[in-house]
Every structure is written in structure tokens, then in C-alpha cells.
Chains A and B, each alone.
Chain A
Amino acid sequence: MNNTDDKSSSSSDDPFAIKAKAVFDQSVDSLDGHTQSSLNRGRQKALAEVDSRNISRGFWTRWAPAAGAATVAVVAVSFWIREPQLDAPASDFELIMAEESFDMLQDLDFYLWLDIDAQTEPDPDANIDIS
């Protein structure tokens, strides 16, 4: 980037530019200690930016794979040792097959027959004239 082979407008050949550079360099070299100290502090702040970037990046680079593997292991173990749930609500089939329901099932046939019989037999009181 500092190649000065550009002939069309080279600053290295021009006497005016050479003198200007020399005068400028002299002013740079004569910067006081206080100013140089301020520059140094600014540089350290800038380098601290690189540090903080690398710390946050390093955290994820270091722990993300291990955290991912640990998470997978925990999930796998939780599926492996899962116990059957004892307090699940009973199904309708279980209710029906419970022993104490058999009597009701037997009576249920009777109640169904009553219902059918009531629908087919005419009402003996249906045509009573009360006038």
C-alpha cells in the first residue's frame, strides 16, 4: 500500500513534497510527553476492544459444544429413566371393566327392555273422557 512507484504524481520525487514531509516529521517528533501519553492511553483502550471481543467469542467457542453435548445427554437420560405415570385418569374401558360395574350392566339390560316396552305398548289411560 505504500508503494511509491506511481510516476504520474509521485510525492517522493517532488522537492516541495520532500521538504513538506521533512517539516511535518519534525513536528511529529517534537510532540510532548503528555500528548504521547494520551495517545498511548487511547491505544490501550482500542486494544481492550479486541480483548473484549475475543473473550465473548471465546466463551461461545469454548463452552457451546460442551453445553450442547451435555444438553443432549440430559435429554437422552431423561427419556431412558422415565417412569410410567400412576396417576393417569382411568380410561372408559377400565371403568366399564371394573368389577363393581357388572351389576349395573345386568340391570342395564332390564332398563333398556323397559324403555322399549314403554314405547310400543299403548297407554291405557290415553282415551279417558273426563267430561
Chain B
Amino acid sequence: MTAAASTFAVSCNRITTTGAGTLLREQNLNRFLAQVEKRALRIAEISVRDRDEALDLVQDAMIRLARKYADRGIDEWTPLFYRILQNGVRDWHRRQAVRNRVMVWFGRGKNSAEDVDVIALAPDPGGRTPDEQLQNSEAMQSLEQALRELPARQREAFMLRTFEGLDVRGTAAAMGCSEGSVKTHYFRAVHSLRDTLGEHWQ
């Protein structure tokens, strides 16, 4: 067998082996994303108060995970995915803060005497009709409202630990902080939520 023919044969063999591994990785990734996507959407929605924005953030996180970290171990996907998602949420809040400042500046320029509370007049950010709002669990609404009042890091720690079920180590990886910080954030979040929601909520 000539050198060229043997080289081609080796590359064909590598295709078969690589193809099977790739297919398995895609199946695992599909399974993982299908399992995490709904909880991730609700977590993002609580943070940004808009379902469409939350959908965009979750989709972006999925694409980034697939693009950059599909080759990592399956055990790493959960903290990596939420790390990407939380970064997206934080960027979203920064953009909103800048946009709101600009909007307020223009608003004051036109009618300085009329300080209209734009946020109060805005429709429900979740896009829910009044009927839909009634249908939602009152408990979930109270919890969402209480979560939004928390500092961002406490909210992140609580949702990742409680809603997603990550342990301290996984939460630290997702938040990009130490395990001690996670415990502190979580502890404060739980106490704040209990105080806000009251005994009757439990």
C-alpha cells in the first residue's frame, strides 16, 4: 500500500471514530439543554421581568455553551451554562440602566414640570393579561416580587441553590465567586425573603 493510500485510509478511520463521538456529544447536549431550559427561562424571567427578553437570554446562553464548551465534561455544563446566563442577565441590566438614564434625561428636557413615573405606567413586563395574572400562583408572584427586591448576588445565589439545585461548589462556579461568598449570599437571601414574605407564606 503506498504512503498516500495508507494516509487516506487512516483519515477515513478517524472520521468514523470522530463521527460517533460527535453524535453522542450532540445527544448529550440536547438532553441537557432540554432538561435545563425551562428552569433557566423562569430564573432569567424573574431577573429581567420580561419573558421575551428572558427567551433571548436563554437562547444566547445555549448557543454560547454549544459553541465554546460542548467539548467540556457533562458535569461542567450546568455551572457553565448558568455562568453564561447570569453574565447575560447582568449585561442586560447594565444596558437597561443606561437606556433608562437616557430616557429620563430626554423626558426632563421636554417637560421638567411633569415628573411622570414611566415605570408605573408601563404595562406588565411579563406581557401577561389580567386574567393570566390571576391564574398565576399568588405565592409565586409574592416570591418573585420579594426576589426582585434582593441584591443581585443574593438573588442569584438563592435561585441557583434552591431552584436549580446546585450545591455550593457548583453555585460558586456559576457565579464566579468563592464558596464562602455563596454561603453568605444565600444565608442573607433566605433571611430577607422570610422577613419580606412573612410566616403566612410558608
Could you list which residues of chain A lie within 8 angstroms of chain B, going by C-beta atoms?
1-6, 8-9, 11, 14-17, 19-21, 23-24, 26-28, 31, 35-36, 38-39, 41-43, 45-47, 49-51, 53-54, 58, 61-66, 68-70, 72-73
Q: Is the CB of B15 within 8 A of A49?
A: no
Asked if B112 lies at the interface with its beta carbon under 8 angstroms from chain A, I say: no
Contact of A65 among B7, B30, B41, B166 (CB under 8 A): B7
Q: Which residues from 1 to 37 on chain B have a C-beta closer than 8 Å to any C-beta of chain A? A: 3-4, 7-8, 10-12, 14-15, 18-19, 22, 25-26, 29-30, 33-34, 37
Q: Is the CB of B194 within 8 A of A16?
A: yes
- In the complex, A51→B63 CA distance in Å? 12
- In the complex, A47→B7 CA distance in Å? 31
Interface SS majority for chain B: helix
Known contacts A1-B166, A14-B190, A35-B55; A51/B62 CB under 8 A? no
In the bound complex, residues from chain A placing their C-beta under 8 Å from that of B58 are 39, 42
Q: Which of B85-93, B94-102, B113-121, B134-142 contacts A (4 or more CB under 8 A)?
A: B134-142
Asked if B107 lies at the interface with its beta carbon under 8 angstroms from chain A, I say: no
Contact of A24 among B12, B19, B162, B201 (CB under 8 A): B162
Q: Is the CB of A65 within 8 A of B38?
A: no
State how many residues of chain B have any CB contact under 8 Å with chain A.
Answer: 60
In the bound complex, residues from chain B placing their C-beta under 8 Å from that of A2 are 78, 165-167, 170
